[in-house]
Amino acid sequence: MPQRIIINPVTRISGFMEIQADVESNYIVDARTKGLMFRGFEKMLIGRNPFDAVYFTERICGICSTAHAMASTMALENVMNITPSEQGRYLRDIIHGSEFLQNHLRHFYQFTLPDFVKLPEDYPLFKSDQNDYRLPPDINDRMVRDYFESLVMSRDAHEMLAVLGGKAPHNHGVFIGGITSPVTVDKIAHLSSLLYKIDRFIEEKMIPDVLDIAQYYPEYYHIGGGYGNLLSYGCFDNYKELGTLYVDPLVYSNNTVTNFNPNEISQASDYAWFTETGEPDTRKPQAYSWIKAPRYDNLPFEVGPLARQWLSGEYTNGISAMDRIIARALEVKKIASIIKTLLQNLIPGVPMQEVYSVPVSGEGRGLIDTTRGALGHWVIIEDSRIAFYQVISPSVWNLSSQTGDVKGTAEQSLIGTPIRNISDPVEIGRVIRSFDPCVSCSTHVFTEGKHLDPIRIV
């Protein structure tokens, strides 16, 4: 008879999520990822001015808000048949790239590192009961110092974003046609200075920290693999003059890489709290999550840094929890290099904006890879108002509920994971956090003098 582990909430992620895992003979034999927060942003957009979507959808998330501005802008440009200038794309992608830097730095050091590094326990909101810390004291202490320094680096990346976007998070720079203001020489110099400092930290501290963790936790190269299907909508690609700086829209499945076809995307809600018409239904039999189930060619796919690194040929060591962590660190180095290239190709003072009229009707989509993976926005405009809006975020791909008997990507990655100590199932958190989950805008409950135990064994 399997024992059931329920972890709720899963901490150090973005959003509310529960993991349910059935364990037999110290191996996970079944798993469910449960998104526990209803959002409804698409419904809030119905009837609004289409241009509102750019800044409205940014509020879906505070850590990856620029991504939604990018996808929404691209969807509207698709409706209006507008192609941004190359200079507009460079500036927009520098803003987006800055968000990559702050997100990946924050995820590794604030979300992932505490799974492997013993941090000081003299903080009222932090308590760790796990005992699987293996790093030698000198390496552990070095990473603790890097943990705190990373906060400054992540803040500097947000400053880069704000230099061009006006503020961070929820920038006001990304818009139809490019960004809302031209770049100046002093802004380019400021951005270059901040980027140099961040790049040095990545090269000298972040990447060595990741590789040291991999050395002392080698079994995680064999845990958390899942289906091995990888997808990217393309990232920093298809520039007129620079070509593709990172990865083209590609798909990897059955040991074969093929071109991405957006018409192969579908979305089901077999086990999600939605009716077939998309209306919320919390009484739906067998449903267990607010997260639907996107599929490509009817298959679940993994999206994110590992997918991009694999499809670009930058990193093809394997598909596992540790490979995801390493791929994210290598990607942040890659993104820093891309931003440097874009900065070198900027022309100061080029005007970015003109007056645009709201289209009377039309349909459009904006597909882009962002920090956590493939992000898509779809819009239908009728009578100059939004009649339909759809968002499929990266974590919907990775944390999807099952369809029929087919598990979601993260669910499948948990199945087969060995659990050394069922009362301290650290392996579950390590595998799930390797996806950088974003169920969006989490809160943490704290009662003074009490430690809330999120793990139940039933």
**Please, which pLDDT band fits residue 343 given cuts at 50, 70 and 90?**
very high
pLDDT for res 41: 85
Distance, in Å, from the CA atom of 22 to the CA atom of 30, rounded to the nearest integer, reads 5
Instruction: Give the pLDDT mean for 367-383.
Output: 97
pLDDT (tens digit per residue) in 10-42: 888 877 889 999 999 999 999 999 888 777 888
* pLDDT single digits (tens) 345-369: 999 999 888 889 999 999 999 999 9
Query: What is the mean pLDDT of the segment spanning 432-446?
Result: 62
Residue type, 33: T
Amino acid at 190: H
Give 417's pLDDT tier (boundaries 50, 70, 90): very high
Q: What is the mean pLDDT of the chain?
A: 92
d(CA 57, CA 437): 18
Q: Say what the pLDDT of residue 128 is.
A: 66
Q: Is 235 annotated as a binding residue?
A: no
For strands 17-24 and 3-7, give the pairing: antiparallel
- pLDDT band at 449, cuts 50/70/90? very low
pLDDT at 444 over 80: no
* φ/ψ (deg, to 5) at 335: -65, -40
Is 42 labelled as part of a ligand binding site? yes
For the ranges 29-38, 179-188, 195-204, 252-261, the lowest mean pLDDT is seen at 29-38
Confidence of residue 126 (pLDDT cuts 50, 70, 90): low
190 is known to lie in a ligand binding site: no
- Condensed to tens digits (0 to 9), the pLDDT of residues 229-283 reads 999 999 999 999 999 999 999 999 999 999 999 999 999 999 999 888 888 888 9
Structure tokens, 97: 């790239």
Check whether 391 is labelled as a binding-site residue.
Answer: yes
pLDDT at 61: 83
Q: What backbone torsions phi and psi does residue 426 show, to the nearest 5 degrees?
A: -60, -25
Residues 202-226: what's their mean pLDDT? Answer: 98
386 Cβ contact list (under 8 Å, min separation 6): 45, 46, 47, 48, 49, 50, 52, 53, 379, 380
In which band, very low, low, confident or very high, does the pLDDT at 451 lie, cut at 50, 70 and 90?
Answer: very low
CA 32 – CA 411 distance, rounded (Å): 6
| Helix H or strand E segment including 178 | strand 178-179
Asked whether the predicted pLDDT for residue 131 surpasses 90, the reply is no
Amino acid identity at 380? I
- Tell whether residue 441 is among the known ligand binding residues: yes
Higher pLDDT, 456 or 201: 201
pLDDT for residue 354: 86
| Among the ranges given (95-104, 176-185, 440-449), the one the predictor scored with the smallest mean pLDDT | 440-449
Is 444 known to sit in a ligand binding site?
yes
pLDDT at 127 over 80: no
Give Cβ neighbours of residue 9 (< 8 Å, ≥ 6 apart): 16, 17, 18, 36, 442, 444, 454
Residue 61 is labelled as binding a ligand: yes
- Judged by DSSP in three states, 194 sits in helix
What class is the 3-457 domain? mainly alpha
Average pLDDT over every residue of 406-428: 95
